[in-house]
Structure 1
Amino acid sequence: MEQMLLTDSVRRERLLNEFQMDISNLLDWLATYTIEKQPGITRLLYSKEWFNAQKALEARMEERGLTPSFDEVGNLFGTIQGGHSDLPSILVGSHIDTVAQGGKYDGAYGIVAGLIAVDYLQRTYGQPKCTLEVVSLCEEEGSRFPIAYWGSGSIAGERNFQQIKSLRDREGILFVDAMHDCGFGECSAREAVRKDIGTFVELHIEQGGVLEEEGLSIGIVEAIAGQIRLKFEIIGEPNHAGTTPMYMRRDALEGASAMIRWLRDAAVQKGPPLVATVGSLDVSPNVSNVVPGQAIFTVDIRHSDEVALEQFRSEVITQFTSIAAQRGLGIQYVDWFNEKPVPMDENLNRQLVQICDEMDIKYRQMVSGAGHDAQMFKLVCPTALVFVPSQGGISHSPEEYSDARELAVGVLLLVQLLYKLGYAEVEKT
C-alpha cells in the first residue's frame, strides 16, 4: 500500500476526491448540532447540543465499523481492535466542543479526519496490528466553565474530579450537575485516565494565516508555544485636564501607552516565534476631562523556547519599571499564568516530513501559538500535531473556513502515517 499510494498519482487523486466529499458532508452534518437561530456553531460542554453531537457521532462510528464507547467524563472513542492486543493504542482525534458562535472546523475537523482515515484503512487493509482509536474529546476550549483541556487532561491524569467540584458556569450551574445531567461523572463509565496509549495524532486547522500566505498545504508543528500572562497596574494621579501643565502630570495612561509601544517594538525586533499582546486595558476614572490616575492592562507573551520566553518576561518587567520611574508613576504586577512550551515528538515529525516529501505535499515546520489537546497527550505518549490552512487566518468565528481540498490533503497524510504506525512498522515488544 505504501509505495502504491506514494507513486500512483491517479489513485492519489481519486482518494483526495473521495475524502473531500466525505469531509464536507460530515462537517456540514456535525455543524447542525448547535444552538438554533444563532450565527456560527455553539456546542458548549455538557449542553444539549454537545450531548446530541456526541451521541450522533457514536452512531456514525458504529455505522463505519468502529466500536464506540464513552469514558466517565464523556470522551467518545471509536475503536478498531488490533491483532496484537498487548501493543498500545494509536489514538487520533480532537475536541467536539466549541467557543460560543465559533466555526465548524475547529476541533471537528480532527475528529472527522480521524474517522475517515481509520474507516478507509479498515475497509482497504482489514485489521491493523495496533489498535486504532478515533476520539471525540469532550472539551478543550474552556468556554462554559473556567477550566480547559478537561477531556485530554482527564485522559493524561492532569485533570480530576476534585478540580471541578466547585466550578460553575455564568448561569450558576455547577460543573458536576451539568455532567451528571448528561449521564457522566465519577464511576459512571470506564475511568478516564489511560495508560495504554502509544501515540496520539491531532489534525487541526491552523487558526492563523501562515500556511495560506506561503501557499503551503501542511504545517508540521514542532512545538506548542509556552504562554506567560501578566496583569500590570500603573498608578498615577488623577487631575484636571485643563489646569494641569503637561510637565506636572503623572498620567497613568500615557505611561501605559509607552509600555505598550515598547512591548510591540521589542517583540517585532526579536521576531518569530515570539509574540506579545496587550488584550485588555482599563483606565480610571475614564472620563474625557481628567488626567488618568490608573491604568490596568494585560500582557500575553508566547514563545516555543522556555529560556527565551522567561528572558523576555524579565525584560518586560525591567523596561516597564523603568518607564514608570521616569514618569513618577507607581507600578504593580501579578504573574497569573505560566505554561511551559511543549515540543512534539521528533520521530513522528520526521515520518510526517518524509511522507510529505514522497507525496510532493508542500509543507513547513512551525510553532503553534495556540494551545491544543496535543500538549496534554505529549505528557503521556509520543504526539504529533498537524495543521491545514485557514482562509484569512480566521478562527473562533462563524467566518472560519478551510478549503475541502486542503482538508482532504490532511486526511491523505494521516492515512499514510496511520498505515506506517499501525500496519507496516509494528514490532512486538
Structure 2
Amino acid sequence: MNDLSAVVEEHVAWLSGIGADPTGGTTRLLYDENWQIAQNGLKAKFEAIGLTTSFDAVGNLFGRIEGSHYPMETIMTGSHVDTVVNGGALDGQFGILASYLAVKYLTEKYGQPLRSMEVISMAEEEGSRFPYAFWGSKNIWGIADKADVLEAADAAGIKFVDAMRDAGFDFKDENEGLRKDIKAFVEIHIEQGSVLEKTGKQVGVVNSIVGQKRYNITLEGESNHAGTTPMGYRKDTVYAMSKMINEAIDKAHHHGDPLVLTFGHVEVQPNTVNVVPGHTVFTMDCRHTDATELAAFTKEIEADMKATANKMGIKIEIDNWMNEAPTPMSQEIVNVLETACTEAGLNFQVMHSGAGHDSQIFAVNVPTAMLFVPSIGGISHNPAEATKTEDLVEGLKALIASIHKLAYED
C-alpha cells in the first residue's frame, strides 16, 4: 500500500473542522447545523468515489456499491457522526472516514466486490444533545421507541421532534421491515483507553463489549449543627457514603480485571461547611464482560451498602437505572479480522471493549466485530483525544484487509 498518512490526516482535519469549537475540540450534535453540514459533506465524498447514497428516515447516511455475484449480501462498515460537547477529533468520525477510505482503496485496486459494500455514517450515538443514545443504530434495528423522545428537549429547550424535522427528517415508519441483507458489520474506533498503548500494540480485534450497570444511590440521614452535634449522635450521609465506596472499591480491586467500578458523581445537601450532611446522592457504574459475574458482584455491593446504612441508622434507596448486558462479538467475524491482521503482518491483539459502541446494537442482529486503534494516554471525549498517525494508518490497513476478505473472497 502507498503511504496513507497524508490522506488520513487530511480527512480527519476536514471532518473534525466541521463544528470546531473556539476553545478547542469539536461540537457536532444530532440535527444541529454542523451535523447537517457533515452528513451532506460525507454524502458528496461517497458519491465522488462512485457510491450510491441515501438517507433513511432519521438521518443515517449510507453509501453503497453493489456486489457482482452476491448483491443481496452486504458487508457494512462505519460509525457515528455526532460528537460529545467539545469532543475530540476521532471518536466516531474516524470509523466513518476509515470505512470510506477502505472502500475507496478497495474499489480502486480491485474493482467491484463480490458482495455489496456499504459505508454508514450513523446519525447519533453519544446522547449529548438529547437524553437518548444510539438513536441511529437503534432505528436501523427497530428498537428505538419514539415515545422516549417525543417530549425530549436539549439544553436550549429545543424539542427533539422539532430539531429532527427542521433538519429534514422524521420518525421511521413503524411498519418498515428490518434489513435482511447485512451479512457482517465491522466498526473501527479509537480504544478510548490505554490497553493498546501500554501493551505496545497498534490494532485491537474486539471480541466483546462490556455489560454496564449504573446506579443512583440516595442516603437520608439528619442535617445538624457541625459544632453542637456530638460524633456519636450523628447521621452523616457523607461518612456513610465514604465507608460504602471504600469497601466497594477494595472488593473491586480484589476481584480484578476485567471488572471496573466507578463512583463518579456526588450531590450533598446542604453542602455547607458547618452542617452535618443529611442527604447525599451518588452514582455507581460497574462493568464486566461476563453477565453472571457482573450481576453477582453488584448484588454483593448492594447488600454491603444496605448493611452499612442499617448499622449507621441511615435510610438508603438504590436505583439501578441502567442494566446493559455484555455483548459478545461474532466469533466468525473476529476470526476473519484476526486472520486479516495476521496475513497483513499487523501488530495486534484480541481484547474487549470497556466502552459502549453502535456495534453492541448491531451484534444482536447481525454478525459483528470491531477494530481498535490506540488512544494516547487513554484520553477521549476531550479536545486532547489523539492517536498517532501511524496507528490510524495501521487501523485502516486492518480494516482494508478485513473488508477485502469479507467482500471480495468467495
Q: In which range does the TM-score fall when normalised by the shorter chain?
A: over 0.9
SS in 1 for 2:206: strand
Shift of 1:26: 0.5
In structure 2, distance between residues paired with 1:292 and 1:84:
69
TM-score by length of 1: 0.92
Which residue of 1 is the match for residue 361 of structure 2? 376
* CA deviation map 1:147-177 (0-9, x unaligned): 1111111111111444422222122212111
Which residue of 2 is the match for residue 9 of structure 1? none
* Of 280, 284, 300, the match for 2:269: 284
Code of the residue aligned with 2:327 in structure 1: it is: V
Which residue of 1 is the match for residue 104 of structure 2? 119
In structure 2, distance between residues paired with 1:229 and 1:280:
12
Query: Contact 1:155–1:192 (CA<8 Å) still a contact in 2?
Result: no
Shift of 1:355: 2.5
Query: Contact 2:266–2:282 (CA<8 Å) still a contact in 1?
Result: yes
In structure 2, do the counterparts of structure 1 residues 300 and 169 end up closer, same or farther at CA, with 3 Å as the change threshold?
Answer: same
Which residue of 1 is the match for residue 409 of structure 2? 424
Matches within 5 A, 1:125-164: 125-164=110-149
In structure 1, distance between residues paired with 2:151 and 2:61:
25
In structure 2, do the counterparts of structure 1 residues 86 and 64 end up closer, same or farther at CA, with 3 Å as the change threshold?
Answer: closer
Query: Contact 2:21–2:27 (CA<8 Å) still a contact in 1?
Result: no
Which residue of 1 is the match for residue 24 of structure 2? 39
SS in 2 for 1:242: coil
TM-score by length of 2: 0.96
Query: Contact 2:139–2:172 (CA<8 Å) still a contact in 1?
Result: no
In structure 2, distance between residues paired with 1:293 and 1:417:
57
In structure 2, distance between residues paired with 1:380 and 1:134:
18
In structure 1, distance between residues paired with 2:308 and 2:42:
55
In structure 2, do the counterparts of structure 1 residues 385 and 409 end up closer, same or farther at CA, with 3 Å as the change threshold?
Answer: same
In structure 1, distance between residues paired with 2:172 and 2:213:
36
Shift of 1:353: 1.8
In structure 1, distance between residues paired with 2:119 and 2:342:
26
Code of the residue aligned with 2:320 in structure 1: it is: D
* Of 46, 54, 58, the match for 1:61: 46
Shift of 1:33: 0.8
Code of the residue aligned with 2:189 in structure 1: it is: H
Which residue of 2 is the match for residue 354 of structure 1? 339
* Of 70, 81, 87, the match for 2:72: 87
Which residue of 2 is the match for residue 233 of structure 1? 218
Matches within 5 A, 1:324-335: 324-335=309-320
* Of 224, 247, 256, the match for 1:262: 247
In structure 1, distance between residues paired with 2:11 and 2:194:
24
Query: Contact 2:61–2:120 (CA<8 Å) still a contact in 1?
Result: yes
CA RMSD of the aligned region, Å? 1.7
Which residue of 2 is the match for residue 179 of structure 1? 164
In structure 1, distance between residues paired with 2:216 and 2:147:
28
Which residue of 2 is the match for residue 5 of structure 1? none
SS in 2 for 1:295: strand
* CA deviation map 1:286-328 (0-9, x unaligned): 1111222122111111111100111011011111111122222
Code of the residue aligned with 1:256 in structure 2: it is: M
Shift of 1:263: 1.6
Query: Contact 1:230–1:335 (CA<8 Å) still a contact in 2?
Result: yes
Shift of 1:35: 5.1
1:203 aligns with 2:194: no
In structure 2, do the counterparts of structure 1 residues 163 and 253 end up closer, same or farther at CA, with 3 Å as the change threshold?
Answer: closer
Shift of 1:243: 2.4
1:405 aligns with 2:376: no
1:27 aligns with 2:17: no
SS in 1 for 2:88: coil
In structure 2, distance between residues paired with 1:199 and 1:67:
19
In structure 1, distance between residues paired with 2:185 and 2:297:
32
Percent same amino acid at aligned positions? 45
* Of 29, 49, 58, the match for 1:73: 58
In structure 2, do the counterparts of structure 1 residues 353 and 367 end up closer, same or farther at CA, with 3 Å as the change threshold?
Answer: same
Query: Contact 2:71–2:114 (CA<8 Å) still a contact in 1?
Result: no
SS in 2 for 1:87: strand
In structure 2, distance between residues paired with 1:357 and 1:40:
35
Query: Contact 1:71–1:191 (CA<8 Å) still a contact in 2?
Result: no
SS in 2 for 1:28: helix
In structure 2, distance between residues paired with 1:357 and 1:61:
29
Code of the residue aligned with 1:418 in structure 2: it is: I
Query: Contact 1:154–1:192 (CA<8 Å) still a contact in 2?
Result: no
| Alignment size in residue pairs | 409
Query: Contact 2:344–2:401 (CA<8 Å) still a contact in 1?
Result: no
For structure 1, the residue ranges without an aligned partner over 5 or more in a row are: 1-13
For structure 2, the residue ranges without an aligned partner over 5 or more in a row are: none
Shift of 1:193: 4.4
* CA deviation map 1:40-70 (0-9, x unaligned): 1000000000000110111111112212211
SS in 2 for 1:257: helix
In structure 2, distance between residues paired with 1:385 and 1:402:
17
In structure 1, distance between residues paired with 2:208 and 2:79:
17
Q: Which runs of 4+ in 1 moved over 4 A?
A: 190-193
Code of the residue aligned with 1:294 in structure 2: it is: H
Shift of 1:82: 0.6
* CA deviation map 1:224-283 (0-9, x unaligned): 111111111122222222222222222111110011111211111111111111111111
In structure 2, do the counterparts of structure 1 residues 220 and 187 end up closer, same or farther at CA, with 3 Å as the change threshold?
Answer: closer
Which residue of 2 is the match for residue 3 of structure 1? none
SS in 2 for 1:331: strand
Range with bigger deviation, 318-327 or 384-393: 318-327
Shift of 1:86: 4.9
Range with bigger deviation, 334-343 or 232-241: 232-241
* Of 189, 211, 219, the match for 2:204: 219
Code of the residue aligned with 1:400 in structure 2: it is: E
Shift of 1:354: 2.2
